[in-house]
C-alpha cells in the first residue's frame, strides 16, 4: 500500500510510469482489484457468464497490448511499472465509476450520464498521458495509440462476445 503514494499522482497527470518503483506484489494486487471491479460492473449489465468471459478477454487484451507496446518500443523491462500504472489509474476511476453506474441505473438522471461521461473522458486522457510518457511521443500520436488501445481491449472483447 506504500507504493500507492508513488502511483496515485499518475491519476492527475503528475508522474512518469517509467520512473516509478517496480513491485510484482503491487502489480498483482491491482490486477486482482481491476479484475473484480470490472467483473462487478459487467455482471450488473449483462448475464454473469458473459460478464466473466468479457472481463477475462478485456484483462488479457489489456496486458497483451501493454506488453506489445513495450516490446515494440524496446523497453519491456519496465512492463511491470507500466502495467501497474494502467491498472492503478483504471482502479481509481472505478472508485468513482461504480457508484456512478449505480446512480445511473437507479435514477436514470441526466447528471449521472454527464458524470459517467466525464469519467470516461478522464480515463481516455489518462491512457493517452500514460502512453505519451511511456513511448515519449507527442499528444496526437499518443491519442491515436490510446484509441487503438481502447479498440483492441474493450472493443475487441465486446466484438468477440458478440461473435459467440
- The pLDDT profile of the chain, 164 residues, written as one tens digit per residue, is 689 999 999 999 999 999 999 999 999 999 999 999 999 999 988 899 999 999 999 999 999 999 999 999 999 999 999 999 999 999 999 999 999 988 988 898 999 999 999 999 999 999 999 999 999 999 999 999 999 999 999 999 989 988 87
Whether the CB-CB separation of 156 and 145 falls below 8 Å is answered with no
Q: pTM for this one?
A: 0.93
> Could you give the angle at which helices 79-107 and 24-43 cross, rounded to 10 degrees?
20
- DSSP-derived letter for residue 14 is -
Amino acid at each position: 500500500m506504500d507504493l500507492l503514494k508513488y502511483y496515485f499522482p499518475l491519476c492527475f497527470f503528475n508522474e512518469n510510469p517509467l520512473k516509478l518503483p517496480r513491485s510484482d506484489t503491487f502489480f498483482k494486487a491491482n490486477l486482482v482489484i481491476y479484475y473484480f471491479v470490472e467483473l462487478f460492473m459487467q455482471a450488473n449489465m449483462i448475464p454473469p457468464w458473459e460478464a466473466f468471459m468479457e472481463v477475462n478477454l478485456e484483462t488479457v487484451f489489456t496486458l497483451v497490448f501493454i506488453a506489445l507496446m513495450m516490446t515494440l518500443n524496446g523497453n519491456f523491462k519496465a512492463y511491470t511499472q507500466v502495467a501497474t500504472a494502467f491498472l492503478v489509474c483504471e482502479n481509481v476511476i472505478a472508485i468513482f465509476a461504480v457508484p456512478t453506474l449505480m446512480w445511473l441505473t437507479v435514477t436514470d438522471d441526466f447528471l449521472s450520464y454527464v458524470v459517467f461521461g466525464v469519467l470516461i473522458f478522464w480515463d481516455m486522457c489518462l491512457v493517452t498521458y500514460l502512453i505519451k510518457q511511456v513511448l515519449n511521443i507527442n499528444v496526437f500520436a499518443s491519442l491515436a495509440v490510446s484509441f487503438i488501445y481502447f479498440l483492441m481491449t474493450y472493443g475487441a472483447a465486446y466484438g468477440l462476445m458478440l461473435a459467440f
